Amino acid sequence: MASIAELAEEIKTDKIKNEDLIVCLEAKNLRVVAMAMFKLIERNYCNIRIVDRLAELGELLTDSKFIGPWQFGHIAIATLSLLDNEDAKIKFNELFERLSDNDKFLVDNFIKSESYKT
């Protein structure tokens, strides 16, 4: 099993296996989690475990400042919307409906900003 640092390097060099991206989503290191989310979007890779984990991460809407005005949860919810996967779309709609207007704005804004593109 690779260390989180090794997995982060594999993401950066685009050598990571899709199956290892779920391991990265479960890491305690939020930078690695974010890198994994961006890689999922880039590869359009998704399965139900990923949808479930992104939904969990979508709860991090306070005290999880990520970049600019976005909290970590905004990025996770936006990731669901950016994956071309039916389960992800359903979960995105479910989570998005429950957001405050401000959080909806931030999620939309993140998607439009394309900040996930490297």
Residue-level length of the chain: 118
Q: What local confidence, expressed as pLDDT, does residue 36 receive?
A: 92
pTM of the model: 0.85
pLDDT along the chain (118 residues), means of 10: 80 90 87 90 93 91 72 89 94 95 92 77
Asked if residue 64 lies in contact with residue 29, where contact means CB atoms within 8 angstroms, the answer is: no
